[in-house]
Amino acid sequence: MIEDRRGFLGGIASLAGVGAGLVAPVRAFAKAATGSGATPGAMIVSTWDFGAPANDAAFARGRSGGSLIDMVEAGVMVPEADPNNHSVGYGGYPDRDGHVTLDAVIMDDAGNVGAVGALEDTVHAISVARAVMEHTPHTFLVGEGATRFARDRGFPHVNLLTPEAEKAWRDWLKTQNYKPVANSETGTYGAGRPGTPGGALDHDTIGMLARDASGRMAGACTTSGMAFKMRGRLGDSPQVGSGLYVERGVGGATSTGLGEEVTRTVGTARVVASMRHGMSPQAACEEAAKHIAALRGDAIKGMQVGFLAMDTKGRIGAFCLLPGFTYAVTDAAGHTRVEKAPSLFKA
């Protein structure tokens, strides 16, 4: 049934409003990728160092004829399937009751969107989110309903709690220290303690944006959420306008860090609205982060929030509260680099 879903693109133009958003950009991306009439600027951006291999997978999917939605799905599936990435998908750290729950959203610039929250026993939450978009009248399914929908669509049951993640959870139970640590995704926990990308005691996501040569865009965001969170907790990642927002003719934005602070301000919708009114992606990301800082004051001390944005011309913006947020950029030739975002505070 999963293969049937992937083959659905052949007849997708019959869905009202979806065909133009998913199918039309394919040819334009191929033109840019081959260098014939290529447009300058970024084609794919994603959060954190582990966004680099995700971008490469997304680019390869586009180069082979995939749509923008195909690209962002294929890209974020890479960290979703990586058991060594403890902030996304398989191998993600569980909630405080020992359940690994996943959140994801996928969206194109025509307003087609699908999302899942608190999904269990399914590796690729982003693909289930896409199935919500393509096969239901809804935009968001959560909890037991989302998991049942995944089974109905043929997604296999997989135990997401790896031995390493279970050990970390049982170690956490001894202290129950519920404080997230900023920037563990880059390989350190706090003051120089060794760690791994998406490491323990933190929470995070991969957010990805892709564009074609004509300026059409799509995005995806997926996460296992805050490590050892309360059961039922949803962060910003699966919520349209918080973890991800894409708008035709303007651009898109995704967020990372402590999701509660992004949801308070509907952060990515704010970034895109600022771009719509003439701000550059960089200025829009800075405005959104500074707004959080001004609104929350001492309540966000030591907490990380970052925004990443791209407009229809491929101009990028990235900004965060604390130093350490990185992002991956892929150009029209397929070259990928990792950059560090400027921050509001020094530490």
Cα 71–chain centre separation: 13
**β-bridge mates for residue 338, sequence order:** 328
Place of tokens 């200025």: 283
Write the DSSP string, 50-106.
Answer: THHHHHHHHHHHHHTT--HHHHHHHHHHHHHT-TT-TTSSTT----TTS---EEEEE
Task: Please answer whether residues 146 and 118 qualify as being in contact, where contact means their C-beta atoms are separated by less than 8 angstroms.
Answer: yes
Amino acid residing at 224: S
Distances (CA, A) of 223 to 38, 198, 322: 33, 10, 21
Phi/psi at 117 (nearest 5 deg)?
Answer: -135, 145
**Listed residue (137, 127, 81, 121) closest to 104, CA to CA:** 127
Residue tagged active-site, from 122, 147, 186, 205: 205
Amino acid residing at 8: F
Q: Is 205 a catalytic residue?
A: yes
Active site amino acids: 205
